[in-house]
Structure 1
Amino acid sequence: MTDSFRIRRATVADLDRLAALESVIFENDAWPEALWRSELESPHTFYLVVERSDAPAEVVGYVGLLSLPGGHDGDVQTIGLAEGARGRGLGRELMRQLHEEAQRRGVREMFLDVRVDNPVAQSLYRSFGYEEIGVRKGYYQPDDVDALVMKATL
């Protein structure tokens, strides 16, 4: 990861920037702002954002965790990076920090969904020990793309 980026905990103050970036990254199936708000306000979620060190108002990436108190499983809710922030190790660092938080919360198994047509993301997840455990047909709409369901033991 280069020194020109900073990762920090997301807050509701990041809502507009997160929703805007999401609509660029996931054009057809972006989360609506109301869903982002509920995710950021929930006591059961943990979100990180990546911002440029020289332009902190510019969010270029994010990742989110859902874990319920007393539970031993967690979900990677979402992860995304702006095109110009890719290939710098930021996705790997986001996942590493997300797993650290999951372990602090007592999570033992992590789950995620990933598009079958996204081999770069699948490769990243496999490098963290995720394995395919199922397929959700037509999960990503309106593109009608299947999702691989993946699981990792922490």
Structure 2
Amino acid sequence: MNWLDPFPVIIDTAHLGDADDLAEIHAGAFHRGWSPAEIEALLADRRTIAIVGRRGSLFGSRRPVGFVIVRAAGDEAEVLTLAVAPAHRRRGIGRLVMDEAMRRLYADRVKALFLEVDEGNQAALALYRRLGFTVAGRRGNYYARPEGGSAAALVMRADIG
């Protein structure tokens, strides 16, 4: 906690009531954001783990500022999305929600976690490498660019347990 941002980030499970806020955060992070209905469907799926970082407040507000949604299948899982609100980036929120998701996957005996990331997203690549992810492959022309064209995705993998 510092004097510029005196309220801590609280790590929690995302709830259906968070869908509007999560859709807003997602839209601020990706060219094609997900609707509240799409997020609700993922939150309702028993195979998903959805972790949210909430900004604490003296006034009781617990508004989400970042989140991750992961889907598990057997002993593998995939990060479906990770997003942090623009005003709250570079404060470690992505790391906090990913750490918690990985702890829960470990408790569920998941062995490997996969994700796709735009190969040009240096901030995300740095985070994933710090979390133990390594490049497992590459998918060309995977992401549409807002200005036209496309970008490749790196497929990354982290061994959990």
* Structure-2 separation of matches of 1:128 and 1:45: 20
- Structure 2 match to 1:135: 138
- Structure 2 match to 1:100: 103
The match for 1:58 among 60, 63, 67 is: 63
The match for 1:147 among 137, 147, 153 is: 153
Q: Percent identity?
A: 30
* Structure-2 separation of matches of 1:57 and 1:130: 30
Q: Kindly report which structure 2 residues correspond to 1:82-101, keeping only aligned pairs within 5 A, or say none.
A: 82-101=85-104
- Structure 1 match to 2:26: 22
Post-superposition offset of 1:56 = 2.6
Runs of 4+ residues deviating >3 angstroms: none
Is residue 38 of structure 2 the alignment partner of residue 32 of structure 1?
no
Contact 1:134 1:149 in 2 (8 A): yes
Stretch moving more, 31-40 or 4-13? 31-40
Structure 2: state its 5+ residue gaps. Answer: none
* Structure-1 separation of matches of 2:18 and 2:128: 26
Describe the superposition over 1:53-102 as per-residue Cα deviations: whole angstroms up to 9, x where unpaired: 0163522100111112xx11111111111122122222111111110011
Contact 2:19 2:37 in 1 (8 A): no
Q: CA RMSD in A?
A: 1.7
3-state DSSP class of the match of 2:67?
Answer: strand
Count of aligned pairs: 151
Post-superposition offset of 1:147 = 0.8
Q: Which amino acid aligns with 1:145?
A: A
Is residue 121 of structure 2 the alignment partner of residue 115 of structure 1?
no
Post-superposition offset of 1:125 = 0.6
Contact 2:56 2:62 in 1 (8 A): no
What is the TM-score normalised by the length of structure 1?
Answer: 0.90
- Structure 2 match to 1:67: 72
Post-superposition offset of 1:4 = 2.1
Contact 1:65 1:75 in 2 (8 A): yes
Structure 1: state its 5+ residue gaps. Answer: none
Structure with greater Cα Rg:
2
* Structure-1 separation of matches of 2:96 and 2:65: 14
Contact 2:84 2:94 in 1 (8 A): yes
